[in-house]
Amino acid sequence: MKRNLSQLIKPFLMAAVLVSSPFVANAQSDYPNKPIRLIVAFPAGGSTDIVGRIVAQKLSERLGQAIVVENRGGAGGTIGTDAAAKAAPDGYTLTLGTTSTMAVAPGAYSKLGYDSVKSFSPISLVAVTPYLLVVNPELPAKSLAELVTLAKSQPGKLNFASAGNGSTTQLAMEMLNDVTGMKMTHVPYKGNADADLAILSNQVQVLFGSMPALLQHAKQNKLRALAVGTGKRSPALPEVPTVAELGYPGFEAALWLGVLAPAGTPKPIIDRLNKELVAIAATPDFKAAMDKNGADATSNSPEQFASLIQNEVSKYGAITKKLGIKLD
């Protein structure tokens, strides 16, 4: 009796699956057996890089493998994030996603190379940090009220820095401009580190940046801190009031950071990494390292992180539409 082609091939396919399955299972059970790459989508020295390197060190210690931080900045963090999305889903390429790259970018770019929801397997949040409004000490404004008055008296003459077009540092300042009626000129830089240098050297006068990169400069009075963007004051700078308590109720600007893998990364690997990151976030030394940089250590489940990203994409999409921010 003649058998069709599918009947002839089927036994060979089943044999191939049986032969390959132990290798696949073994590859996951002995994970990781080589160094892991962590893509940080911003230049070295900025807030994301500071947190990323602390996470890399702690995760390396727990996994027993090197975690190599690769800084790939540009285009508000979308270049490095796109590279991470297109990497092999084998657990050996991770990225530190942020509010900027995962929530703001989808609404700010009409031709984004990745999908924040579909292109990644979320693993866990690692930190949340307030945004800190600072000015160069040479600027006469000593409070938010004085800054608003000064900016309104000379529309467009004051410059504010950001970590790049479409970054949350731009969006935070645009949100503040919107509620206060200030008009300033946006000067984008290639990452937080460059933006910090610009305001320290008085190339620009104002920056609403994430706390880790600005905290020590504010404590040393190299920059004047006027307000924090979170709903409550930061323990790192308890004397600095919130924007909300200064007359703009409901205002909130904060940065979250979390570890993600490319979509399709095997669940056992995601679960292993989540277990380690949750454990790291609970350790006193990691909490202390985050506190030192003005950030709050945190963690959650892959499912909770995925839900957060979906909600944040919707939230910031509405904000970028209202403010008319389009970057391509």
d(CA 229, CA 294): 13
d(CA 30, CA 38): 19
- CA atoms within 13 A of residue 310's CA, in its CB half-sphere: 10
pLDDT score, position 1: 45
Percent of the chain with pLDDT over 90: 72
For residue 285, pLDDT over 60 is answered with yes
Reported confidence tier of residue 7, pLDDT bands at 50, 70, 90: low
**Residue 128: count of CB within 10 angstroms of its CB:** 18
Residue type, 133: L
Whole-Å CA distances, 250 to 23, 132, 201: 54, 16, 33
| pLDDT, tens digit (0-9, with 9 covering 90-100), for 251-282 | 988 889 999 999 999 999 999 999 999 999 99
d(CA 57, CA 52): 9
pTM: predicted TM-score of the whole model, two decimal places: 0.80
* Lowest mean pLDDT, pick from 23-32, 85-94, 294-303: 23-32
Contacts of 88 (CB under 8 A, 6+ apart): 262
Token pair for 296: 């709050």
Three-state secondary-structure class, residue 14:
helix
Hey, which bits of 32-103 come out as E strands? Answer: 36-40, 67-71, 93-98
Tokens 């104002």 appear where?
A: 206
